[in-house]
Amino acid sequence: MSTPNAPRTARERARAELTREIKEEARRQLASVGANGLSLRAVARELGMVSSALYRYYPSRDDLLTALIIDAYNSLGDAAEQAIATTAGSSLRRWLAACHAIRDWAVCRPHEYALIYGSPVPGYRAPEATIAPAGRVPLAFVGVLGSAVAAGEVTVEPGARVASPAEAGGALSDQAVKLLAALPGPAGAVPPDVLLRAVIAWTQLFGMISFELFGQFVGSFEPADALFTHSVAQLAQYVGFRPQD
């Protein structure tokens, strides 16, 4: 039985390197033919492998898609979490930093973004293994929001229409409420109405990014830098973050 920190054998290193090459070639295919056109045979051909050898790494196209999806979610999660961890100052600054980091990641990796936030791949059903990676970004936002609530950095503008706890609870699924309550520390104490506004802001954030990447701003709001900066600031205000001094 090997120990967790034991050096990898030459065979393990070779397998890890070939796995990396397979996924890199698959990402190139995403850029050229999209997820629908991803083919194990084409990947094997480009790498100079026989198909049967590649099947030992990924038995099916769906297995390879799952690996790419998990990698994309984790890469995006890394970007958001790093932005939050390295941004000093208020919770609002950390929230906005995460928003910009997510957009920057998406602009640099549009085909990976499309894989996880674009149209579903016909015939593919994401397995349970994708759930935790997919949850990293929303949990990062909830963590910032929980800290903001605990520090009194979340308020509501005078006259703003805010859902009552009953209304917010009705709009949120039972599963969402249970997941929130189970979170440790301040994140588990976010009021339902604040969480509801955050969910709405979260969907608007990804809607703006999708509009930009999928060409909906061409001829109107391109480049979208100024629009994005203004919009995420407005969304943060809608969530309830106090404006910066």
**Domain spans in the chain, listed from the N-terminal domain onward:** 1-59, 67-239
> How many CA atoms within 13 Å lie on the side-chain side of 137?
27
CATH topology of domain 67-239: Tetracycline Repressor; domain 2 (1.10.357)
Residues whose CB falls within 8 Å of the CB of residue 106, separated by 6 or more in sequence, listed in order: 76, 113, 209, 213
Asked if residue 161 has pLDDT above 60, the reply is no
Asked if residue 139 has pLDDT above 50, the reply is yes
User: Tokens representing 235?
Assistant: 């969304």
* pLDDT band at 8; cut points 50, 70, 90: confident
* pLDDT band at 166; cut points 50, 70, 90: low
pTM of the model: 0.87
Degrees, nearest 5: CA angle 34-203-185 = 115
Note the CATH architecture for domain 1-59.
Orthogonal Bundle (1.10)
Signed CA dihedral, 70, 19, 82, 235: sign only: negative
- How large is the average pLDDT for residues 140-155? 91
pLDDT confidence of residue 77: 97
Asked if residue 129 has pLDDT above 60, the reply is yes
Inter-residue contact 24 to 111 (CB < 8 Å) = no
User: Tokens representing 134?
Assistant: 């997919």
Asked if residue 5 has pLDDT above 80, the reply is no
Asked if residue 181 has pLDDT above 80, the reply is no
- Distance from C-alpha of 77 to C-alpha of 112, rounded to nearest angstrom: 13
pLDDT of 184-241, one tens digit each?
666 677 887 888 889 899 999 999 999 999 998 988 988 899 999 999 999 999 999 9
pLDDT confidence of residue 108: 96
Query: What sections of the chain are H helices per DSSP?
Result: 10-33, 40-46, 51-55, 61-86, 91-108, 110-117, 131-134, 136-150, 165-171, 174-181, 192-213, 225-239
